[in-house]
Structure 1
Amino acid sequence: MEEEPTESLWVRIKGSTGAGDIIVGVCYRPPDQGDRADEALYRQIEAASCSQALVLMGDFNHPDIYCRDNTAEHKQSRKFLECVDDNFLMQVIEEPMRRGAMLDIVLTNKEGLVGDVKLKGSLGCSDHEMVDFRAARRAHSKLTTLDFRRADFGLFRDLLGRVP
């Protein structure tokens, strides 16, 4: 690895023909993580956010982020919010998880990709909440893609020539 290591796992889920792929990322950011590792993580997020569909979840350890107004007290937390904004990511969890803090975050770059988000209590002795959500099924588009290679442009010109 040329960069500072980060605790993250990225998976590309191949979509069926024409459906496109989904990138799923799971990250853990230790509370004492340095700026270099943060920047490496932000570069990973930036690369993944270029995909058509991204779901990013994890414990980013920014307890000072206020999701209601998208602000934070500490510089590292503000840099994280800047990364989220710069990559057009949306937070899908709206309620704090631990002592009023939003530590566990689920982000996506496509509205409607993640739905029915529910907190399900902790698993075992963990002080984190389980997050249950539904990945939206891709709706079949009612838009038709036209194949202009089969068009009769001679007829089209003829019909246009008849318009007064």
Structure 2
Amino acid sequence: MLGIHTTPKENLNTPSAEMTHGTPKSSVPNDLHMANFVFVRRDTRRKPLQSPYDGPYQVIHPGNKTFQLLIGEQDTVSIDILKPAHLDINSPVQVAQSPNRGRPRQITPSLDKEQSPKNRVTTRLGRTIKTPSRFQRQSTVLGWGAM
């Protein structure tokens, strides 16, 4: 059984396994080389309702196998993962920006009178203790605020 797939066909001079298990066929849309904007396919696992394509991105220079696109900066992308963007001429084109990377900036809150360093009470482990507002006057009278 294994010998059938490995023996070459006499009229083609190639084994039948090579004929069926060759390189994958990629189809390139006919109007891809004339497109000014393209979508780029994302080959990663997607969340539900997430689009398989990013873009549209502006084409800087089309080539035979690769395109140079403006994705934040100039980037070279294979034509196998591109799809032409058919956009309405009358509406303005919103070019997609590259995704922000890294952690978002943390906004530091301003210190209130209650949270100022001189009124702050901390435990031995470094945790701050904030007394409830109904005890604010009593804490200074009883000496809780000056621990």
Q: TM-score, normalised by structure 2?
A: 0.22
Larger Cα-atom Rg:
2
Q: Which has the higher strand share?
A: 1
